[in-house]
Structure 1
């Protein structure tokens, strides 16, 4: 929370007391991700009177301000920056309203903005006319469009706004961030009364702004928080001292601590993803068990063949399983008996799906146990070489921790086969590129739509119901979604090509079959 708005809100007046009335002496960089800014009351004969140093560390993985008591500039390999501010006196320093940014206003009317947005942090020079004149990190080109006004967000944080949002605090306080949101959500859990929830929110706000700062460790990584959590090492009451203490704790982090923290965070993420999968899969099983069974529907149709009219699209029949009437959907082009046969086939597939879900649950529960075992073992390792050897032996590298398939593409499991559906044109290219040459590739013919891939199982042919289900999905996620029948291209992925220069989502197909299906979603 060292860049959290509620911390900056307390840091700003403390910095104002240090900087107001001082002059900008110089800003320079000795490393590409580091900026030093020097302020002082006067500069007589190269001697600074009451200097104040701000050091900004802005790497891709760590961004932080610190305030060293002195800083000796190297004679070589340093470059001056923000020269226009030289000699200008600081008028005030304030935090931007509901934003992670500090504004330093100079007597000339110019501003130096400290934009503290994690790995997108930057220092921005703004002239008296409000135009951006210089950036510290020029790669963040969109920062040139920022204005002081755009960094000040007016948000209605009243009781009335809280009520209008049904007791949700997130729309009112987007400044809390992940750590604070988790902390407050825990306090609000199980509280339904709006007045009680509002009182808790106000209590937490007072806690956040009480000038108590905790230097702690969360998942083996140093952190600065506004509430007690993790392994607390220090409790401070000055925001400058707190930020300095946090910065020192972080840069002193050993290689073992850093690498252990990374792999622990990775494993915990995988465990959470597995928990989500188990929860969703278990719910699918419950839904399947509670739903009216397809074989029961077939039996009801067979018992009432004599009263079902021809070409009917539905029939209201007596359900002798539950002693009530039930409406059953029918295909008008089929006889009642053929409709019953269709439901019997679905019942067979339904049983296969239930068995597959049970197998999948067992496999993922075993995966979760293995992940938990890895986590416990890694936390006990005390040597860096042992940690690296363990990670390599068990293939736990970060490179294997890309987004899960479930996150990249829509996924449906059917009869033991995995069906993947792209989300947009670029995502379609990614799905097709990642597909194995023996995977089955499907797409609605002659219209835009999602690419669909059925993962191959070596030694097994794709069952007709699986192909039909994947085709239904390809039709559903296409412009032919509302057609009565949709032609769908079906071909092995090896016959799909993406020549250079084709637009996103567009491919060439060397060999194809066509199936006709009715569009049907998940």
Structure 2
């Protein structure tokens, strides 16, 4: 959700108490669209973020640490010149508009008091940050816009007087849907004033309250009143302030976007390697298929050896009786005219022996390639399961250690703190651990689990290693079934039915010498056929 005009009103109501009367100590511009003002307020020093990013225009107090460029951008230098030491007079907002005017009192080069205004237009892709002088003339802005008289588009460039964009009063879709839900559709035909009255009633005596909308323990939206339209699948998390809510929401979204992009980049790199290995294996299989013709090479060598008297050097082909043919027909045998009859026969024997050796070598290479494909498929599955940058870093480290990725200068050191496997608790109270990548799978199976703990894995299907910690007791059938369902859910068979899941005590699970991460063999196992259950995974997950 973007920061709508009403939520912006709530944010400003909160900020006025902190900012008005405070002074700007420092100005930073960590990115093209973001300005951070360090403010000395009444009794507290705070950082005010103003973002003109099209993906999340907003303003709020922030505690997030942002890295600043070594060389401040020109707009940052301009703001430092005009706003360092400036005092906040007031924060203004045109009614029901996503626009904020920070009215400031500053000092010019002569030491005289002057007025300055920093305008945030928090309007999606048209978002902008604009600095005005005391006469509301534009000094500069983050995004310069050339005006167009023909279309009526306003200009936003230095030297012009600032004017507001065309008003677009209205409620955001989330609030429209909420009023529609609460009124059983009655609000659809009401005026804006009537809808605003309904909102006041919905807010109650507390007024604006910062709420985060939560699904699967993740912030998915924010608002200023309880949202009921989504039912029990979406929870409400009340925050101490709107600034804290917005800081958390956009930080988590930025992290998710960053992880998503890095996950996509990593997936692309692994897929590229996997496709290359698959092409190599396919070519080797074609070559091995060609070696199955080797027996005919030996037969032709035998026929030539038996008829050396009929051959002479310089012949390009010869027709001889094929005594390997059940009907005794003649066969045309190609010859190399530069070779003697004996050399031509020896050539066919050599090709036969070469094909025989090639079949063995190719068979070994194909098996090695198939194991490599299995490993890369398991890595792709692990990328899907990654829940954060730490999980992806582990996968990246694993691929570097196994030689699939080159080690960069910054990757020389291993991460000191490893990511943790997913943790669950069965209905009967037994702990269940699920590895999210091969590093975690190896750690769980080979180092952490005891010999009597239960190991589970989908049969011949890529997926996570699952450990049911028995605590020295015989696990109940319900816990085994739940652990099997988790193994099915965290595998490539997630969308299947009656997925076979093998389970056995850890003592029967071995890692072959030289095997790639996550690869094991096991014996003396049982198989359960279960349906993957995502709801069970949510319910049993330990946070």
Range into which the TM-score falls when normalised by the shorter chain: 0.3 to 0.5
- TM superposition score normalised by structure 1: 0.39
- TM superposition score normalised by structure 2: 0.38
